[in-house]
Amino acid sequence: MRILQALQTNLDGKSKQYRDPAWTHLFLMNNVHYIIISVWRFEEKDLYGDDWIQQRRKIVQQHANQYKRNVWAEVVSY
């Protein structure tokens, strides 16, 4: 569990390097989704539990929604 917490902290730090918030959300959405898939692939889901996976899926959806909002805000502003 500590490894995934450290990974998430690292990803949060790297995401701040993007100037455009849309890219930040796309980066986090993609990487959190990859973590979920990896946990499933290596059958670690029993170790982390369904609640953990559902929380991460919510996080992915939140980043997807924020990404869409940011991108559409740029489109509408033209």
Instruction: List the chain domain ranges.
Output: 2-77
Residue 7's pLDDT is 95
pLDDT of amino acid 48: 87
24 Cβ contact list (under 8 Å, min separation 6): 15, 16, 18
Helix (H, G, I), strand (E, B) or coil at 19: coil
Burial 15-38 (b: 16+ CB within 10 A, else e): beeeeebbebbbbbbebbbebbee
| pLDDT in the model for residue 16 | 96
Total-model pTM: 0.87
pLDDT in tens, 1-34: 788 899 999 999 999 999 999 999 999 999 999 9
The answer for residues whose C-beta is within 8 angstroms of residue 4's C-beta and 6 or more apart is 35, 48
User: What distance in Å separates the CA atoms of residue 28 and residue 21, rounded to the nearest whole number?
Assistant: 11
Task: Give the chain's mean pLDDT.
Answer: 93
